[in-house]
Amino acid sequence: MKCQECGQPAIIHVTEARKMAAVSERHLCEAHARQYLQDHPAGAEPVAATAAAQASSGQGAEVRMDLIRLVISEVHDQQLMILGEVSGRRCLSVVIGIFKATSLDRRLKQLPSPRPLTHDAWADTIGTLGGRVQDVLIHDLREHTYYVWVRIRQGEHVVAVDVRPSDALVLAVLLQVPVLIAGWLLEEVSGPAQ
């Protein structure tokens, strides 16, 4: 694949997303990727604030987030997933592995797979056992690692399952459920747009 700007090999792939679906993709060389990311900082435009999002972020101290960008590099081990505040401009980036990043990218682009993948099987298992994924909550950060719960409602009970951020996001995109972060944590980690 060639860089859309100069024809050199494209080694960085940027997927822009809104509401859990890809809205555009860029395939760029390293120099043009740097330029693009500099010219289009994540969080420059607020994600459309909706009544539902406002209501959700107003509940307690949890803030609703949307997956707004995925940066996949063929030359680095670590990929970037960027989450933006639904009713504001705060962002945070989470480093994920290439396998999960690719899986997430396929989900965002709704690329079909012939047989159920791990996350499909996981979602089906929860449903088959009478559960419903309510939301995903990023609730802590320890030693540069985000801690995330997938909250599953089963009858009158809600159980929280500890999962990696990348797995939680794949599940959230797959099932189209809200992604939330503890308000204090967003306050602590949201930096300038990147």
Output the six-digit token pair for 95.
């480093």
In the complex with Zn ion, the residue whose CB is nearer, 31 or 160, is 31
Nearer to Zn ion, 26 or 32 (CB): 32
Contact residue for Zn ion among 29, 72, 138, 174 (CB under 5 A):
29
Q: How far apart (Å, rounded) are the C-alpha atoms in residues 13 and 74?
A: 8
The separation between CA 58 and the C-alpha centre of its own chain, rounded to angstroms, equals 21
Number of residues binding to Zn ion, judged by CB under 5 A: 6
**48 binding Zn ion? (CB under 5 A):** no
Residue 30 lies near Zn ion (rule: CB under 5 A): no
Residue (21 or 31) nearer to Zn ion, CB: 31
Tokens 């399952």 correspond to 161
**33 lies in the binding site for Zn ion (CB under 5 A):** no
* Shortest distance (Å) from residue 31 CB to Zn ion: 6
Amino acid at 86: V
Nearer to Zn ion, 9 or 127 (CB): 9
Q: Please, which residues bridge with residue 180 across strands?
A: 64, 137
At its nearest, how many Å lie between Zn ion and the CB of residue 35? 8
| Binder of Zn ion out of 18, 26, 27, 32 (CB under 5 A) | 32
* Contact (CB, 8 A) for 150 and 171: yes
146 close to 94: Cβ distance less than 8 angstroms: yes
Which residues in the 119-158 window bind Zn ion by CB under 5 A? none
Residue with tokens 């992604």: 179
Contact between 3 and Zn ion by CB under 5 A: the answer reads: yes
- Measured from the CB atom, is 1 or 48 closer to Zn ion? 1
- Cα 72 to Cα 146: distance, rounded to the nearest angstrom: 19
Tokens (6 digits) for 62: 């949890």
Per the CB < 8 A criterion, the answer to whether 78 and 95 are in contact is yes
Minimum distance from residue 105 beta carbon to Zn ion (Å): 20
Stretch that binds Zn ion, among 21-29, 75-83, 136-144, 186-194 (CB under 5 A): 21-29
Q: How far apart are CA 108 and CA 103, in angstroms?
A: 9
Which residues are near Zn ion by CB under 5 A?
3, 5-6, 8, 29, 32
